[in-house]
Amino acid sequence: MSFHVNLDRRRADAPVDDHLAEQDFVRIAELVNGRTGIRLPPAKRTMIEARLRKRVRAHGLSSMGAYCRFLFDQGGLEAELSHLVDVVTTNKTDFFREPDHFRFLAGPGIETMLARQGQERGARLHLWSAASSNGAEAYTIAMVLRALAERSRRFDFAILGTDISTAMLRHAQRAVYPGDFVAPVPAEMRRRYLLTARDPRQNEVRIVPELRERVRFAHLNLMEPSYPFERHFDAIFLRNVLIYFEREVQVAVTRRLISHLRPGGYLFVGHSETSVASALPVRQVAPAIFQLK
């Protein structure tokens, strides 16, 4: 009688060999780049090792090498891909990040959008947070627009938030955040648009229903050759994601996105990403804000 021993599995009390061999890092980096457009240079190797440990443990594997064999040699890739993307993508975001963008939106931006629709009342604006992460950006846009709409009653709005990370999309749809995380939200908006937990020990808030119902979240990989959304957006926010792409991918992604803008619509990018505009039919109207010609 013979016995097969799976040496890739580990005992519950055994330590994980948590270092990626160079060839395994290269394979993962090429996979992530090919599927998501995100670059993982060698300097990111230690960070990727740290983030992958939870996936190694989740599968009860003994090492990073065993995890890579599971991905590439044992047919685990497709089932694991969404989890891999979740752990390797960077999801840094905040409410009211780069506040000058929201001041522009609340001032000349909104006036131009409404004038372009040519309606005194009843206009419906459509905005897109194209790398929405945990939803903070989309809900910030919603707060700004709701405050304006309550004063003027000239328009309503709908916001689309998309992201490649399914974990972040679940977070965004739940719309619950630690109390400290919403500190950048102005006090009056916190009072009107955030619900506090009944138990003060939880230190959590939730976005109010009237904003949640105006924001829809959907999964999207920006590397897809086309996007399954209408081409009628008044503004698109694509901030602090292009920096993770190669130049040619930056241009291709941004071209696809602005094809969904109305004529004269706005594109908001990160302050370190403005060089991409030189390859696009847009004009700069404010720092890191561009208008489709």
> One-letter amino acid identity for 244?
Y
Place of tokens 């720092």: 287
Q: Which residues contact 157 (CB under 8 A, 6 or more apart)?
A: 124, 125, 126, 127, 142, 145, 146, 149, 214
Confidence of residue 119 (pLDDT cuts 50, 70, 90): low
Quick: pLDDT tens for 240-267. 999 999 999 999 999 999 999 999 999 9
Using CA atoms, how far apart are residues 174 and 194, in angstroms rounded to an integer? 13
Q: Is 277 helix (H, G, I), strand (E, B) or coil?
A: helix
> Rounded mean pLDDT of 134-142?
98
Topology given in CATH for the domain delimited by 22-88: Chemotaxis Receptor Methyltransferase Cher; domain 1 (1.10.155)
Q: Which fold would CATH assign to domain 99-292?
A: Rossmann fold (3.40.50)
pLDDT band at 101 (very low <50, low <70, confident <90, very high): very high
E strand map for the chain: 123-129, 155-163, 176-178, 194-196, 204-207, 215-219, 233-238, 261-269, 282-286, 289-292
**Domain ranges within the chain, ordered by starting residue:** 22-88, 99-292
Which residue bears the tokens 């916190």?
Answer: 190
Residue 145 in 3-state DSSP? helix
Q: What pTM did the predictor assign?
A: 0.88
Q: Which two tokens stand for residue 33?
A: 């780049």
Q: Once rounded to an integer, what is the mean pLDDT over residues 236-240? A: 96
Please tell me whether 239 is known to bind a ligand. Answer: yes
Two tokens, residue 161: 């938030």
163 among annotated binding-site residues: yes
Q: Does 33 appear as a known binding residue?
A: no
Nearest CA to 282 among 273, 291, 272?
291
- Decide whether 22-88 matches 99-292 in CATH topology: no
Instruction: Give the residue from 111, 75, 131 showing the smallest Cα distance to 234.
Output: 111
- Cα–Cα distance measured from residue 86 to residue 100, given in angstroms and rounded to the nearest whole number: 30
pLDDT in tens, 53-98: 989 999 999 899 999 999 999 988 999 999 998 888 877 899 999 9
C-beta atoms surrounding 5 within 10 Å: 6
Q: Check residue 193 and give its pLDDT.
A: 98
> Is the model's pLDDT at 4 over the cut of 80?
no
Number of H helices and E strands in the chain, helices first, is 11, 10
Angle between helices 22-36 and 64-72 in degrees, nearest 10: 50
**Helix (H, G, I), strand (E, B), or coil: what is residue 26?**
helix
Torsion of CA 17, 20, 21, 22, to 10 degrees: -170
3-state SS assignment for residue 233: strand
Residues classed as catalytic = 51, 163
What is the distance between the alpha carbons of residues 242 and 256, in angstroms, rounded to a whole number? 13
11 assigned binding-site residue = no
Contact between 163 and 219 under an 8 Å Cβ cutoff? The reply is: yes
Hunting for tokens 């003060």 — which residue is that?
200
Q: Using alpha carbons only, how large is the chain's radius of gyration in Å?
A: 22
Annotated binding-site residue? 203: no
| 137 annotated as ligand-binding | yes
